[in-house]
Amino acid sequence: MEGSPAPTLSVGVLGGFEVRFGDEPLDVRGAGQRVLALLAVRHRHRAAARLDLAEQLWPDAATERAAANLRSVLWRLPRPRGRVLVRCTSRTVRLHDDVRVDLWDAQDRAESVHGSAPPSDAELDDLLDHDLHRLLQHDLLPLWSDEWLVVERESHRQERLHALEVCSRTLCRQGRYGEALLVGLAALRSEPLRESAHRTVIEVHLAEDNHAEALRQYDAYRHLIGTELGLPPSPTIRDLVAPLVGTARRRRPRRAG
């Protein structure tokens, strides 16, 4: 329709790989996926050198063959309605400025939470409007085994979990307990053994005076870390629920007889 906005070209690398033109998935396979993923993950702010990109993708091939392989892959990338996914020069390759990348959106949201001051009410509303907990709940290409992804994946995982916890604690301080719990549980689902995520959820329950829920969360974590790692909870999380543990013991009914 005349006057309607043009469909967005997007590359997705969170939770899995996909390329879309608006609502339409585009067929990109094999080395084409690797090229786009490398550009999305490692080259947001600077173009990739063609030679370096080719040698990384085809490390066992001769330099000339690797360069030819890259040219072939770039030429075969889809061009819906004449739109291109990459910008190429004789020396460099990068994603086109019009391409949207979910990882970049997630990084921007996480950075807005990691500031020196807690996010304001308006900033939190904007983050939640963009469905922060959904955007930050997926790992980076979790089913890929490429060596170059190991550090990148862990870096993103730590960044997004920390952002979710900060956002949850800020919402809790503002009395927005339901939203705080939703965001905190998103971090917990992503990493069930992460103690700071359990502390965040417990703190929300305590702020709401849901003492039984706080104890239930602590007991679940204590059992999990004992079963999985053979470790006790840290003094920090024990201190968090210590007053409740003492109260529960004093109120426990005595057995008859």
CA–CA distance, 124 with 110 (Å, rounded to integer): 11
Q: Which token pair is 148? A: 């170059």
Residues 6+ apart with CB under 8 A from 157: 139, 140, 190, 191
Q: Which token pair is 32? A: 């084409």
Note the CATH number of domain 107-251.
1.25.40.10
For residues 20 and 37, is the Cβ–Cβ distance under 8 A? no
Domains 9-97 and 107-251 fall in the same CATH topology: no
* Amino acid (one-letter) located at 248: A
Comparing CA positions, the residue from 185, 191, 175, 244 lying closest to residue 215 is 244
CA–CA distance, 131 with 125 (Å, rounded to integer): 10
Report pLDDT for 250. Answer: 44
- pLDDT tens profile 123-176: 667 666 556 656 678 899 999 999 899 999 999 999 989 988 988 988 898 899
What is the SS3 assignment for 24? strand
Report pLDDT for 248. Answer: 47
- pLDDT tens profile 39-73: 999 999 999 999 999 999 999 999 999 999 999 99
Q: How far is CA 145 from each of CA 52, 55, 148, 149, rounded to the nearest angstrom?
A: 20, 18, 9, 7
Comparing CA positions, the residue from 180, 124, 125, 186 lying closest to residue 161 is 186
Q: Which token pair is 241? A: 């629920």
Q: Where are the domains of the chain?
A: 9-97, 107-251
Domain 9-97 has CATH 1.10.640.10: no
- pLDDT tens profile 185-225: 989 998 999 999 999 999 999 999 999 999 999 999 999 99
pLDDT band at 1 (very low <50, low <70, confident <90, very high): very low
